[in-house]
Structure formats: structure tokens, C-alpha cells
Structure 1
């Protein structure tokens, strides 16, 4: 379930309607809310792991490139899109930057979820579960 656009409190840049999310795609995303869906996916991905960098997010959001008669290959997603999403989440206080010497494990930095971000995502998940229970009762 994506984050509601108004609750994100972030107005994406003017480029979101023309940019492709990977060079394996021919067209930009068709949904007008794709930036918010990607933000929700990134927030959930960081929530479930100790620390995540933009490079890992590029791999996760990558896809298979159709190369015609040649074999298909995996290509990473656009780093700029994932970087802007992470920066937007950081501006909202959902994620924070890890320093090189912090508990990242490998010591390479990345981002981790903040306490306020964890609380917000738990609240959103709870409302989603309550909404599913209401629809099951009907």
C-alpha cells in the first residue's frame, strides 16, 4: 500500500512525469502517483533491513532489459530516482544517514529508519490492517 500523497508532505519535482525509472524501460511510469509508491517501497525496504544504500535500492528496483533476439539481462534502476526518493524521506525525518563508522555492519554508510519513521510506518501499517479487517467483515 503506497503512502498517501498528502501524508507524505512532499511535492515531487517537475521531472516526475517525464523521467524513466530505468534504462530498460521504454516509457515513463503511467501512474501519476508513482513517486509516492516508490517512496513507500523504499521506506518499507529500509524498515525491514538494518541499513540500505542507493546502490542496493537500484538493484532491488531494477528489471530485465529486453534486448530483442539477444538474451535478456538484469539492469539496475535509475540511481537519480532512488536518490531523490531517499532524500525526500530523509527530509521528512523517516530515514537518516548512517556515518561510515556507525553500526552499518560493513562500515559503508547508507540509510536507516529513524524512531519517528518507524512509528509512522507502524501507524500506517496498523490502519491498513484495520481497513482489511473491515472489508473482510462485510
Structure 2
């Protein structure tokens, strides 16, 4: 079997698999979780990840407790597919329509803080790096290797379930 890349696998299969890999690895810096244990006063408070909205157009925070891992995996995939991408472009991609009552809905960008923190966490892992020439972020060779390896595993699993 030839080697598979991220472009060969559907996003709906790859992103959850890579998110579970990031969670199992335990090295991803999830914002808010570190601040919980720094002092006793904030030990009872929930972390930033539990209460933050992902954009202005959202009424509630995400209901999935592992949503940050999914967002990081999705961002890693987007940076892989597009050679260089910045925070502004990712905010446009993750934005959605805002309900404005009786007025027509319009597109609003996603939270830049969430995207920036996900990029910083992925940079700390070594999956992506800041591109000095063009600005923005690009995938490192080790990040590309990890994503391609995950894509290959997902593709093999999908073929095994299809043959059964």
C-alpha cells in the first residue's frame, strides 16, 4: 500500500483520530487547566476552556469537554493543507453566521483568542512553526510526519471496516 497523506483522508475521520492522539499524548497545553492548580483560590473555579465561547455568534460554550483537542486537530489539518496560514484566516474559516434577530444574518469571525491559543499549543508541541518569510504558521517536518502517519492509520482502519 502506498503512503497516504492528510489530503487523502476525509476530515470527519482524521480530525477526531488526531484529537484523541493529542489527548492520549498528554503534552498539549490546554489553557485554563494549568491555572487551576497554581494557587488554592482558583482550585475550585472551572478553567478557561470550560467557559469560553468560540465566537461572538455562539450563545453557549461548546458542550464537548474535549472540544479544544478537536479544534487543535482541525487547525493542524488546515495548516497542513494550506502551506502558510495566519490567525486572521483561521478565524474567518471557523466563523459562522450571527443571528441578528429580524435583520438578516451575517458572517462574523471566530474568537481570535481560541485560535491563537490553539496555534501556540501546537507550536509548543512542535507540530507547527512560525514562518518568518511570509508570516503566519506552517507545518514542521515532524508535524507533517505525525499527521501523515495518523492519516495512514485512519485510511487502513476505514479499509478494514469496509472489507468486513
The TM-score with structure 2 as length reference comes to 0.77
* 3-state secondary structure, aligned to 2:25: helix
Aligned residue number for residue 7 of structure 1: 25
Aligned residue number for residue 56 of structure 1: 89
Shift, 1:85, TM fit = 0.2
Q: Alignment RMSD, CA only? A: 1.0
Aligned residue number for residue 104 of structure 2: 71
Alpha-carbon distance between aligned partners in 2 of 1:55 and 1:39, rounded to the nearest angstrom: 16
CA radius of gyration, larger in: 2
Alpha-carbon distance between aligned partners in 2 of 1:52 and 1:11, rounded to the nearest angstrom: 21
Higher relative contact order (CA 8 A, sep 6+): 2
Q: Structure 2 vs 1, CA of residues 43 and 8 (structure 1 numbering), >3 Å: closer, same or farther?
A: farther
Alpha-carbon distance between aligned partners in 2 of 1:45 and 1:12, rounded to the nearest angstrom: 19
The TM-score with structure 1 as length reference comes to 0.91
Which blocks of at least 5 consecutive residues in structure 1 are unaligned?
A: none
* 3-state secondary structure, aligned to 1:30: coil
Aligned residue number for residue 149 of structure 2: 123
Is the helix fraction higher in 1 or 2?
2
Alpha-carbon distance between aligned partners in 2 of 1:46 and 1:7, rounded to the nearest angstrom: 20
For these two proteins, the number of residue pairs brought into alignment is: 131
Following TM superposition, where does structure 1 have runs of at least 4 consecutive aligned residues deviating by more than 3 angstroms?
A: none
